[in-house]
Amino acid sequence: MLLISNPRHLGHPMSPGNWKRLIILLSCVFGGAEMNQQHNNPHQPMTLTWQVLSQTGSVVWEKKAVEPPWTWWPSLEPDVCALVAGLESWDIPELTASASQQARPPDSNYEHAYNQITWGTLGCSYPRARTRIARSQFYVCPRDGRSPSEARRCGGLE
């Protein structure tokens, strides 16, 4: 439907009422455009989070920073022993991730530690093994947007 207003109601084109309408209209247009540009700006800094998840999907280690997307690649230095805590195939099957970060008590069974020293295997039950594993290279499966419940999809628990 086309509405044609009476020119007498608008008054002179240079009247203060018309300028106010124009300023309000332009403010709405440019103000809205400015807000849209902020949301669509690929260089807008945002909170980025890198996480390392355990085999159960819980966060073992994370690092956060405010940076533009695709510009921040931090060194990932998680505690590998926290990742493997509770797995039967490692030397700390009875520990949880938080307990694995504490030192072993003096009355601990060091049979696993002796085997690791003898055979040179990696482990977490004594300080030298932790140092050795911290210096080793290992692969971490990228999550690629998967939910924590899908974290196992990368090839198993170990």
Is residue 20 one of the residues assigned to a domain? no
Q: Is residue 113 part of a domain?
A: yes
Which structural domain range is residue 149 located in? 76-154
Residue 10: count other Cβ atoms within 10 Å of its Cβ.
Answer: 12
Which amino acid does the sequence have at 65?
Answer: A
Q: Tell me how far CA of residue 38 lies from CA of 28, 43, 61, 67, 121, in angstroms.
A: 16, 9, 31, 15, 52
DSSP state of 38: H
What pTM was computed for the model? 0.48
Exposed e or buried b per residue across 109-145, where buried means at least 16 C-beta atoms within 10 angstroms of its C-beta: eeebbeebeeeeebbbbbeebbeebeeeeeeeeebee
Residue 48, pLDDT score: 92
Q: Per residue in 27-79, pLDDT tens?
A: 554 444 444 555 688 889 999 998 887 766 778 888 999 999 889 888 877 77
Q: What's the number of domains the chain is made of? A: 1
Residue 21 lies in a domain: no
Residue 128: which of 103, 94, 93, 95 has the closest Cα? 103
| Structure confidence at residue 13 (pLDDT) | 57
Confirm whether 94 is domain-assigned. Answer: yes
| 44 domain residue, yes or no | no
Question: Is 59 part of a structural domain of the chain?
Answer: no
